[in-house]
Structure 1
Amino acid sequence: MAVESEKRWKSFAKLDTAELGWFHLRSVIVAGTGFFTDAYDIFVISQALPMIYTVYYPEYNVTFTSSYPGGKHLDAWMKASTSWGNLVGQIGFGILADKLGRKKMYGVELIIMIVCTIGSCLAAPIYSLNILVILSVWRFFLGVGIGGDYPMSAIITSEFANVQSRGFLMASVFAMQGAGILLGGIVYYATLEGMTTLIQADYRSIDIVWRLGLGIGIIPAIIALYFRLTIPETPRYTVDVIGDTNKGTSDIDMVLQLNKVKEISTTWNQDEVAVANTTTKNNSWSGFKEYFCKWQNTKTLIGTAYCWFALDVAWYSLQLNQSTLLKTIGYTPDFNAGAWAYFRQSAIGNLIIAVGGSIPGYIVCILLIERLGRKKIQIIGFVMVAILLAVLAGLWNTIQGQREGFLVLYILVQFFIQFGPNTTTFVIPGEVFPTRFRSTAFGISAAAGKAGAIIGIQLVGPSNDSNPALPLWIFAGVMLSGALATFLLPETKDKTLEELSNEGEVIIGA
């Protein structure tokens, strides 16, 4: 057993100290392409819904001064339906990835997304069911696939990464969310520009724009599918859960052939390294309860889950109601100016916010996450967003009429969300749990986030019409609570996954 333990330790140590190389890049591209698609599919609905209302509900006043079709709560459900699916997919795929393996599940979620994207962009009324009902069903199941992609992409990237660059690699995968959001704005703007004559002649031609907007998401999903179906099982799962040290070691050697390996100067010493045996570890429900009955482990799960919950209460409501917010501050023209002018200006506003705030936030986080650490970045982000939202709420009556001033503050909100908790709440849960429960615990944490998104969109968001400052005050308070909950979490920078797992394993020399 000592020989097997030594072999296991040396293999993991090589993986942890490997220099960045092609395999790491390939993993980020494969995982990131899917995550790019996830973000595109989730947030593209924000600009699509006003178009759908305009075409299928002519009585709808797109100035948002009258009721939404079916009421504002139906509008909220349309925006939250994907989050409901996310919640189911994150827990379901999280558990299955720990039970069946990462490789067996990786790609299944993309197949679900491809089918449901086709269904979404072809949605139409059927008998007594209106288009909103049909579309919400497709988007719920689309959300299941998207939800499954969260734990899969995070865990595979984490388990293949080296220690020094793990946060950098995981943040790079997550940053593809920003690229997906940006592409959504570009697609809408480009389509509107290309169809100017048609839309100005008949505003109902806008029906083609939102369908193209939703349908474009299928392209990156198809591109990523082959690579996901052919990616190898992670060595850590092969060794720790399957119990096959030889196969895990050969998989690590395959990875290292594509990357340069640093010399490991520290010799293995069984007195210095407490390594669990290489038989299959217990990843059953009883093992889960036993592990999380310890307060230190429970505390970590509470921290990852609540921080993600706190973030998504505000983030999803703000992002999915961004077009409405732009109208509220007078950024977009009155609909009497024409559908083309209205939606074009809305697309430009969304692009300005993405380019000015969101994209720089992701980039700065990627550059600083290994230098500052996850906890510090998360606390800074939560606190700054809380302050900025409180300022917007407190000055609402004054600043809502000052488009430039409002946009500057709102762009800063988006910057600190992406620089801070939106990225770190994805990274930390992929690092702090043991291999046998890593995907399940990540899925629980992510699902808690989607529960927060649902609350923010369906309960808090609808009050935006009557009292826009109220949701901002609520979001500011929730963000501050997220900063406090971050103190429940360990700092993961420069630590191995085995060290962070709290299972008595301290891999030295990594």
Structure 2
Amino acid sequence: MDAYDLFAINFASTMIGYVYYNGKIPANIDLGLKVSASIGNLIGQLFFGWLADVLGRKKMYGIELMIIIVATVASALCGESYAISVTATIMIWRVIMGIGIGGDYPLSSIITSEFATKKRRGAMMAAVFAMQGFGIFAAGLVALIVLAAFRNGIIHNVMVIDYCWRLILGLGAVPGLLALYFRLTIPETPRYTMEVERNLMKASTDITSYLQKKANESHNNDKNENNNNNDNNNHNDNNDHNNHNDNNYHNNHNDNNDHNDNYNHDDDASSEHHVPKASWSDFFNYFGKWYNGKVLLGTSMSWFALDIAFYGIGLNNAIILSAIGYSDAKDADYNLRAYNSLKNMAIGNIIITIMGTIPGYWVTVLLVDKWGRKPIQFMGFGVLTALFIAMGASFEQLKEHSIPAFIVLFVLLQFFQNFGPNTTTFIVPGEVFPTRYRSTGHGISAASGKLGAIVAQVGFSKLKDIGGTDAFVGRLLIIFAAWMFIGGLFTLLLPETKGLSLEELSNEDHFYKEKKEKEKKKSEV
């Protein structure tokens, strides 16, 4: 849903140009529509990232989704009037929507991280993030379907496009409505309950309830499988088998209950595990140590560098495809030309997503727990540097003589963004910080990325037409290459998280030992 809402503006912005600006949306309006959600993202990532550490993951996870749903629907219902501009109201609602989406970044990452086993944690987090690929694909597919549905109307009257962009934006709320129940009923993560709330009993109960639910599902599946695979003559045997499973399950459950009796609520539980309470002084003390601070610097700056190129390209696909002449239609009739240009834009985005974006995400899912996060991120930045240089240096030649070659390079670019830093910059901040600051740390890292996205959007809009319409696009690709190289350098600051527990990655033992040594020296003096 997040990716759909963010990238659907590609189509909506161009369509709004046909409806309200005689076929060409002004550059400053296009910039405002595209950058508004990123501004909201930055605010939401910092605010909800902090709140999730203060109030808990569960309490925040449904609230931010409600904000997204309301703002998405509202943006599709904006209208023009004497006193109010339709594009200005869309921008306002997209800032609000962006705040909700911003909260989704740290929450989705750390909830997955804190529930996952260390063996499959990377794959699970990557799979959550890989849904973005389907969201981007859905935006192109919905645009194509809506255009096809209104084809005759558009050819008769181009103003019918006003229906199209509203439907494209508004339908982004549907996945959120379907997911809302599950967001509201998800349990609090046991790590937060134990280490931040300091309630071992509740953490133990939450784990037991989760395991019991899984055991019940497995037990019922076994019963259904036995009933389906055996005929009525074996009915009694099945009952014996099921009763045996019941006894085993209840015995195991009783064992778990006995085990749970050993846990008690303890206000000082976390201190026994060397975990101090969260506070601003502790926050600055923890990240003030270079071995902790460099990790936050690495996650933040690598995400900042990545998003300069990712959003510089991603939110300007339509402009880049138009710059190389792919999406522009040549029909003499204005209305038909408008329809075909929009259709070509949707098809181009679908092709790029299917061939590059989605495969890149899922190759990461398959390999992230085998290769590791750091090698994939470093490799991705290196390949992206080379691809941006190749595309930028030969932009004019490819534009004039080989559009298919440019499309191939563009697809490879999308592949290695996602089989590379776009996925790993989401994963690593959800693993490397202690529980009491995990969401805050992820929020700071993600907000740094969105700051990069804002810089990219403003820079792309202001620079692309230097020397003529879209004349500077090739040089912008070279600038993106430089930022990919910088992102690779900051990746060197990151630890490898593959196969390590969240507790091992938090550096708490190192921090605690150092603190104890200082206290010991003071006492000796």
What's the TM-score bracket when you normalise by the shorter of the two chains?
0.7 to 0.9
Query: How do 1:213-224 residues align onto structure 2 when only pairs under 5 Å count?
Result: 213-224=168-179
Query: Which of residues 289, 292, 299 is equivalent to 2:287?
Result: 292
Which digits, 9 at most, give the CA deviation of each residue in 1:163-220, with x for residues without a partner? 1000000000000000100000000001111111111111111111111100111111
Aligned to 1:18: none
Are 1:315 and 2:270 matched, yes or no? no
Q: How far, CA to CA, are the matches of 1:238 and 1:125 in structure 2? A: 49
Aligned to 2:8: 44
Count of residue pairs brought into register by the alignment: 448
Report the structure number with the largest CA radius of gyration.
Answer: 2
Change (3 A) 1:323 1:342: same
Aligned to 2:184: 229
Q: How far, CA to CA, are the matches of 1:242 and 1:280 in structure 2? A: 12
Displacement after TM superposition at 1:280 (Å):
7.5
Structure 1 residue matching 2:361: 3-state secondary structure:
helix
Q: Please tell me whether the aligned partners of residues 304 and 452 of structure 2 are also in contact (alpha carbons under 8 angstroms).
A: yes
Q: How far, CA to CA, are the matches of 2:36 and 2:55 in structure 1? A: 28
Displacement after TM superposition at 1:282 (Å):
1.4
Q: Please tell me whether the aligned partners of residues 274 and 509 of structure 2 are also in contact (alpha carbons under 8 angstroms).
A: no
Are 1:492 and 2:487 matched, yes or no? no
Q: How far, CA to CA, are the matches of 1:117 and 1:179 in structure 2? A: 18
Q: How far, CA to CA, are the matches of 1:359 and 1:449 in structure 2? A: 21
Q: Please tell me whether the aligned partners of residues 388 and 478 of structure 2 are also in contact (alpha carbons under 8 angstroms).
A: yes
Q: How far, CA to CA, are the matches of 1:226 and 1:247 in structure 2? A: 22
Structure 2 residue matching 1:47: 3-state secondary structure:
helix
Aligned to 2:344: 345
Change (3 A) 1:99 1:120: same
Aligned to 1:185: 140
Aligned to 2:424: 424
Q: Please tell me whether the aligned partners of residues 245 and 278 of structure 1 are also in contact (alpha carbons under 8 angstroms).
A: no
Aligned partner letter, 1:477: A
Which digits, 9 at most, give the CA deviation of each residue in 1:318-365, with x for residues without a partner? 011101111111112147452211111111001000001001101111
Q: Please tell me whether the aligned partners of residues 498 and 505 of structure 1 are also in contact (alpha carbons under 8 angstroms).
A: no
Displacement after TM superposition at 1:279 (Å):
9.0
Aligned partner letter, 1:469: G
Aligned to 1:92: 47
CA RMSD of aligned residues (A): 1.7
Query: Which of residues 238, 242, 250 is equivalent to 2:193?
Result: 238
Q: Please tell me whether the aligned partners of residues 461 and 471 of structure 1 are also in contact (alpha carbons under 8 angstroms).
A: no
Which digits, 9 at most, give the CA deviation of each residue in 1:287-326, with x for residues without a partner? 1111111111100000000010000001011011101111
Displacement after TM superposition at 1:461 (Å):
4.0
Change (3 A) 1:505 1:179: farther
Aligned partner letter, 2:34: K
Unmatched 5+ residue regions in structure 1? 1-36, 62-67, 262-274
Q: Please tell me whether the aligned partners of residues 76 and 462 of structure 1 are also in contact (alpha carbons under 8 angstroms).
A: no
Structure 2 residue matching 1:400: 3-state secondary structure:
helix
Q: How far, CA to CA, are the matches of 1:504 and 1:280 in structure 2? A: 9
Query: Which of residues 508, 511, 514 is equivalent to 1:503?
Result: 508
Are 1:251 and 2:206 matched, yes or no? yes
Q: How far, CA to CA, are the matches of 1:370 and 1:155 in structure 2? A: 17
Q: How far, CA to CA, are the matches of 1:169 and 1:458 in structure 2? A: 34
Aligned to 1:405: 405
Aligned partner letter, 2:418: Q
Which digits, 9 at most, give the CA deviation of each residue in 1:208-249, with x for residues without a partner? 111110011111101111111111100000000000011111
Which digits, 9 at most, give the CA deviation of each residue in 1:13-42, with x for residues without a partner? xxxxxxxxxxxxxxxxxxxxxxxx111000
Aligned to 2:20: 56
Q: How far, CA to CA, are the matches of 1:132 and 1:340 in structure 2? A: 21
TM superposition score normalised by structure 1: 0.85
TM superposition score normalised by structure 2: 0.83
Aligned to 1:29: none
Aligned to 2:126: 171
Q: Please tell me whether the aligned partners of residues 240 and 280 of structure 1 are also in contact (alpha carbons under 8 angstroms).
A: yes
Aligned to 1:444: 444
Aligned to 1:476: 481
Whose helix fraction is larger, Structure 1's or Structure 2's?
A: 2
Aligned to 1:304: 299
